[in-house]
Amino acid sequence: MNPLEQADHWLSAANLDALLEQGFFIVDEACPTALFNALIEESKHLQAEFQQAKIAQGGLNQAIRGDTTRWLLPTDTTGSQYLALLEKLGNSLNQQLYSGIRRVEAHYASYAAGDYYKLHRDTPLSSHSAKHPTQQARVISTVFYLNPVWHLAWHGELHLQDHSEQWHKILPLPNRLVVFQSNLLHEVCPATQERRSIAGWLRRDESIF
Ligand SMILES: O=C(O)CCC(=O)C(=O)O
Ligand SMILES: [Fe+2]
């Protein structure tokens, strides 16, 4: 399969329905193995560039989230391929739903054992969107797990509330992608092992750069 066709496979009719009805869907074996392994390698290789993550309001707050992150750049050999997949997903969503997605952003994230990210939504009003409160910048959130193995007993679940207020515990299994509406409540539970991922967002606004 051409790697970019991967994003079409992500947005099957059943997954699109789940996104609209429940607010999320999960794709296992989301990327070709070679790309999955290369993303793990790149994430580890860039470890020295990871920084303490900021909370959406802008500040550092380790009582809310403990992970470290590094934005994927178009110049990253492997990260750029993942960004292209997210763009393709955004284009497919625009074709199917007129969702108005204009750009994507994603960061490599690493949670050390014991780190967590407390209950939150990915759509706080930024100083820009506060002036345009109907325009939420982040529309769709994605998380792709970069753990080569993961055991139930290690925890580190993504705890996600769907549109019917049902809670789901989603393990960060190897090569698993979770796609959800950015306004859903969710949290990252602490794990007993290091937990690596790429968190990405499909956005409605234009780049400010
Ligand atoms: O890693 C996860 O499962 C979710 C991460 C998250 O909620 C975020 O980065 O906003
Ligand atoms: Fe989040």
- On whether residue 167 sits in a domain, the answer given is yes
- Residue 129 pLDDT class (50, 70, 90 cuts): low
Helix (H) or strand (E) holding 87: helix 79-97
Q: How many domains does the chain have?
A: 1
- Assessment of whether the complete model's pTM goes beyond 0.80: yes
Domain that holds residue 142: 3-203
- On whether residue 208 sits in a domain, the answer given is no
- On whether residue 194 sits in a domain, the answer given is yes
CATH code assigned at 152: 2.60.120.620
Query: Which ligand 1 atom lies nearest to the CA of residue 122?
Result: 10
- Please name the residues in contact with 89: beta carbons below 8 A apart, sequence gap of 6 or more: 7, 10, 11, 140, 142, 179, 202
Burial, 5: exposed, middle or buried (Cβ in 10 Å; 0-12, 13-18, 19+)? Answer: exposed
ipTM of the complex: 0.99
Nearest CA to ligand 1 atom 9: 199
Q: Which residue has the higher pLDDT, 133 or 177?
A: 177
- On whether residue 85 sits in a domain, the answer given is yes
- On whether residue 121 sits in a domain, the answer given is yes
Q: Is the CB of 110 under 6 A from ligand 1?
A: no
Nearest CA to ligand 1 atom 10: 122
Q: Which amino acid is at 150?
A: W
Percent of residues, the chain, with pLDDT higher than 70: 89
Tell me how far CA of residue 2 lies from CA of 26, 35, 174, 209, in angstroms.
21, 12, 21, 31
